[in-house]
Amino acid sequence: MDAFGLDGLDELVRALIADGHRVIGPRRRDDAIVLDDVTGVADLPSGWGVEVAPGRYRLHRRGDDALFRHSAGPQSWKRFVHPPRRKLWETTDVGFAAAPDDERRLAFLGVRGCDLAALGVLGRVLGARSRPFIVAVDCTEPGGLCFCASTGTGPSVGPGYDLALTERLDDTGHWFLADAGSEDGERILAAVTRRPATADEVAGALRDVTAAAGRMGRQMPALDLRQLLHDSRQAQHWNDVAERCLTCGNCTMVCPTCFCTTTEDVTDLTGDHAERWEHWASCFEVDFSYLHGGSVRTSAASRYRQWLSHKLGTWHDQFGESGCVGCGRCIAWCPVGIDITAEVAALAAERSGDDVDV
């Protein structure tokens, strides 16, 4: 493992850009940490932290200059690998032409364990697309809505990264422990001024990341969720959720793995030119379940049940894993703070015959 300071991180970003990447990383905008183009360390949200609760997200100044200690932002990396809206094809003089892909290779800076797992889940759903260069970051400061420890997706980053960093702020300063996970990662790392990390430094970082697993604000109940959702089709609790649920679709939009889309056909006023666009859809939209003659999931209960049953249950049947990575975004960005871990606990309680108390 290697170590470098803030200058090294700056060199890393510049090396990625020089290598032809569009680098996306965290930035502060609109009272949140969003994901956008970055050109160097100066763009990163130095010293900004986040406090989250159900339906609540607030930025605050930290007592240090940490760059990567902020959880559950309003966006996920999904929007860059699976854009919210994109042109599929358009008509030409002679027929149809597929819309060209953006050829520039992406590099993601600051991908936490939960989000790295989400990119893996999304990749297995969407199939082979060009893979971004991933600079992952171990999490040493989970947020109040995080539960990656109970979904097995963090706080240390799993496989699939090109480079993994652990951000360190200690007596010796602000520095990063770096580990290359691919040949590409080794090649980029070689462009960074660095030194070998000591065994003590590596052990210290590992200790902090391991300790973070015990500080998760939430926990997904340790149950066979696929079976629970299967057993809960007729649960009364869906009606309880429906009383609170706005069916606005925010949970699906912020979820880093929700992948559903719909298409829209666009023609211009002359009628000579037509385009087909794809955009994110949500199973909370009435139109989503429209079959000929009407929608089949009109009640809020049926729509929430659909979302949760797929996310935690039938996702296993379809893709061999869970669709939830424990990032906590759906809890924070639900305007009324519906908590996926609490709803699962309530379903489990209802199945076992206990009083439901959420």
Partner 1 sequence: MTPPTLAVWKFTSCDGCQLTLLDCEDELLTLAGAVRIARFTEASSAISPGPYDVSLVEGSITTPEEAERIREVRAQSRVLVVIGACATAGGIQALRNFADVEEFRSLVYASPQHIGTLATSTPISAHVAVDYELRGCPIDRRQLLEVLSAFLVGRKPDLPDASVCTECKRRGLTCVMVADGTPCLGPVTHAGCGALCPAYRRGCFGCFGPVQDPNIAALTAQLRACGLSEEAIDRAFRTFTHFRQETAT
Contact positions vs partner 1 (CB under 8 A): 29-32, 34, 55-59, 74-75, 79, 84-85, 242-250, 253-254, 264-271, 279-282, 284-287, 298, 300, 332-333, 335-336
Instruction: Please say which residue, 20 or 84, places its beta carbon nearer to partner 1.
Output: 84
The least distance separating partner 1 from the CB of residue 316, rounded to whole angstroms, comes to 26
Burial of residue 90 (CB within 10 Å: 0-12, 13-18, 19+) is middle
Residue placing its CB nearer to partner 1 in the complex, 54 or 113 = 54
Query: 68 or 284: whose CB is closer to partner 1?
Result: 284
* CA dist 142 → 191, 214, 239, 315, 318 (Å): 31, 9, 32, 26, 30
Nearest distance from C-beta of residue 83 to partner 1, angstroms:
9
Q: Which is nearer to partner 1, 31 or 224 (CB)?
A: 31
The 3-class secondary structure across 272-284, one letter per residue, is CCEEEEEEECCCC
Tell the smallest beta-carbon distance from residue 286 to partner 1 (Å).
Answer: 5
CB of 268 to partner 1, least distance (A): 6
Indicate the pairing of strand 261-267 with strand 274-280.
antiparallel
| Rounded distance between C-alpha atoms, residue 286 and residue 302, angstroms | 11
103/115 Cα distance (integer angstroms): 23
Residues 328 and 147 sit within 8 Å (Cβ to Cβ)? yes
Yes or no: say if 324 and 316 are a contact pair by the CB < 8 Å rule.
Answer: no
Q: Which is nearer to partner 1, 101 or 265 (CB)?
A: 265
Q: Please, what is the minimum distance in Å from the beta carbon of residue 308 to partner 1?
A: 17
Nearer to partner 1, 31 or 170 (CB): 31
- Minimum CB separation from partner 1 for residue 54, in Å? 10
| DSSP for residue 98 | E
Residue type (1 letter), 280:
W
* Distance (Å, whole) CA 313 – CA 281: 20
Cα(310)–Cα(319) distance, integer angstroms: 11
Residue 163 and residue 122: Cα distance in Å, rounded?
20
Residue closer to partner 1 by CB (options 97, 286) is 286
Q: Is 215 or 276 the residue whose CB approaches partner 1 more closely?
A: 276
Cα 6 from Cα 349, distance rounded (Å)? 49
Whole-number minimum distance, CB 220 to partner 1, in Å?
22
- What is the distance between the alpha carbons of residues 5 and 271, in angstroms, rounded to a whole number? 58
Strand partners, 90: 97, 275
- In terms of DSSP bridges, do strands 105-111 and 21-29 run parallel, antiparallel, or are they unpaired? parallel
Q: How far is the CB of 26 from partner 1 (least distance, A)?
A: 13
